[in-house]
Chain A
């Protein structure tokens, strides 16, 4: 796992009930219908409103149309526009959402390139309840700062 100084041992594990929040929105960007379904249901279980996109271009287009999301789960390998390109575009547009990369286990160099595109965190698939709890905690902190 990569992130802003976060490590698996420093994740603050809190129960899902503590972070159920009906005001948070999420965008799941993945070319796999199975992964979109899994992450969709997972996030909805925590009370988030979720939209899905099948590739990076669809995600970028949503933001161009004025959509905004608190959390973006971004797959790396996708057709049309991959996660690295999409993340760079979103950051270039000024998007400040929490963008979290979700990858199959790649070499450290590949995750590094993804992080450098502008991710806040990068995790291996599949996301676990602990990781989602951690991300929601980060979102709540992020929103409380604004």
Chain B
């Protein structure tokens, strides 16, 4: 009974990620790669993603505070974040990264700062949603 309830809880959480467009079909593809040889593959991937992305986001935020920030350097970091976010299906995070890069391309630093703030918001929201999901 309890096991059935937990399964239902997991299924409902998972469905909410797609309904809220927090994750896209690439998350489903990750799930399909999970098997008895790699039973915790999705969790492993997201642990890596969160570890690397936290560092990248902090680098970006720190870089925005320096006077001698170069747009090219900033874009390079955002490019990295983009690749990994797309690969795990982090849809909302990816959308904010793309918007921020477009603003950055126009040389709008204030707009870029606002974009990075939105990115950070979506990233923290994703983390907050997924961490309990993997713990269930």
| A binding-site residues for B, Cβ under 8 Å | 32-35, 37-38, 41-42, 45, 77, 104-105, 124-126, 128-129
Contacts and interface: CB of A to CB of B under 8 A. Distances in A.
Contacts of A45: 33, 35
- In order of increasing CB-CB distance, the 3 nearest A-B pairs are A126-B87, A104-B83, A34-B48
Contacts of A126: 26, 29, 86-87
Interface stretch (B6-14, B74-82, B118-126): B74-82
Interface in B90-133: none
Contacts, number: 48
A73 to B, nearest CB: 13
Contacts of B38: 41
A128 B33 CA distance: 11
A35 B79 CA distance: 13
Contacts of B88: 34
A33 B87 contact: no
A38 B45 contact: yes
Q: Which bucket holds chain B's interface residue count?
A: 20 to 34
B17 interface: no
24 contacts: A32-B84, A33-B48, A33-B52, A34-B45, A34-B48, A34-B49, A34-B52, A34-B87, A34-B88, A35-B83, A35-B84, A37-B48, A38-B45, A41-B33, A41-B41, A42-B33, A77-B76, A104-B83, A104-B86, A124-B86, A125-B87, A126-B26, A126-B29, A126-B86
Contacts of A125: 83, 86-87
Interface in B11-43: 26, 29-30, 32-33, 35, 38, 41
Interface in B46-64: 48-49, 52
A38 B52 contact: no
B79 A77 contact: yes
Contact of B52 (A32, A42, A129): A32
B25 to A, nearest CB: 9
Given A38-B30, A104-B79, A126-B29, 17 more contacts: A32-B52, A32-B84, A33-B48, A33-B52, A34-B49, A34-B88, A37-B45, A38-B33, A38-B45, A41-B41, A42-B33, A45-B33, A77-B76, A104-B83, A104-B86, A125-B86, A126-B87
